[in-house]
Chain A
Amino acid sequence: MRALISLLSGGLFGLGLLVSGMTDTTKVQGFLDLFGAWDPTLAFVMGGAILPMAAAWIIAQKRHLSLTGEPLPARPAALIDARLLGGAALFGTGWALVGLCPGPAIASLTFGGWPGLVFLAAMVLGMIGFQWVDSRRGAPA
């Protein structure tokens, strides 16, 4: 059951990224180019994605368990700190420079050629690098 759900949502997510044009870096960079030839497509993608997910959150409030019997995630504390905003700012910088975020970076694996592979490898390295820095910071002196 869990395997089917994972595969189905992954496949639909990937297909949505392709259909929406989000695996095309010119569309993503076009959205961020507010002071140039602005392309609003990403706003339609985000709007379209938020609709079914908002409905899912409303359903989730009335249920306590998922189909697989897992507890549905509780609302996290509304903590807006330097990690959240600093991380988002670093991400936004890289996102603008190439036009890829983590989802499209893997969805385009089969057709993104070597630039996609270089970006993906660097992204994974960045994730592992963060874990390394974070674990050292958290370790007792």
Chain B
Amino acid sequence: MIPMDWICGLLGGLMIGTAAAIYLLGDGRIMGASGVIAGLWQSVGSVVWQGRALFIAGVVVVPGLAAYLAGGADTHATINPLLLIVAGLLVGYGTRLGNGCTSGHGVCGMSRLSPRGIAATATFVGTGVIVMFIARHVLGVI
């Protein structure tokens, strides 16, 4: 019996990949969440900005509505403000320095066998595993 979480993961993953395919073939753009977010204040007023703003609106509203109809959803995120701030700063700074995140490098890069996408994904997953080991099993802070 395959766990339901894995089936949902695969199904949700197919939706994410289809969304990226629509973004690419429809509008000629790479669907990278960090790039679209940062593009919001880098392209104000242009047609490109409108596209990005509508994309973000879709990302916020549709899962919000679906979660509401399903009776709520929870991120189970930590309530330690220091951790939230440090992690947020690192994710924001790092995704701009490395020019991509899980969607851009991971989904869009790896699917075209891009050496940059594969190297970046291996690095953030590898670092994540090491940091998780140290923070959870050595220091016990998360």
- Chain A interface residue count: which class? 35 or more
A24 to B77, CA, bound (A): 8
Interface residues of A in 56-112 (CB under 8 A from B): 56-57, 59-60, 63, 65-68, 70-73, 75-76, 78-80, 83-112
Q: B98-142 vs A: 1/0 string, CB under 8 Å?
A: 110111011110111011100111011111110111011100001
Contact of A111 among B27, B67, B86 (CB under 8 A): B67
| B44 CB–A CB distance under 8 Å | no
Besides the known contacts A7-B54, A125-B92, 20 further A-B residue pairs in the complex with CB atoms under 8 A apart: A11-B61, A18-B12, A26-B76, A32-B132, A36-B136, A51-B17, A53-B17, A53-B112, A57-B24, A76-B116, A87-B96, A92-B124, A93-B128, A93-B131, A106-B56, A115-B77, A124-B92, A128-B41, A129-B92, A131-B96
How far does the Cβ of B63 sit from chain A's closest Cβ, in whole Å?
4
Q: Is the CB of B27 within 8 A of A98?
A: no
A68 to B74, CA, bound (A): 37
Interface residues of A in 16-59 (CB under 8 A from B): 16-27, 29, 32-36, 39-57, 59
Contact of B63 among A50, A99, A107 (CB under 8 A): A107
Q: How many residues of B contact A (CB 8 A)?
A: 107
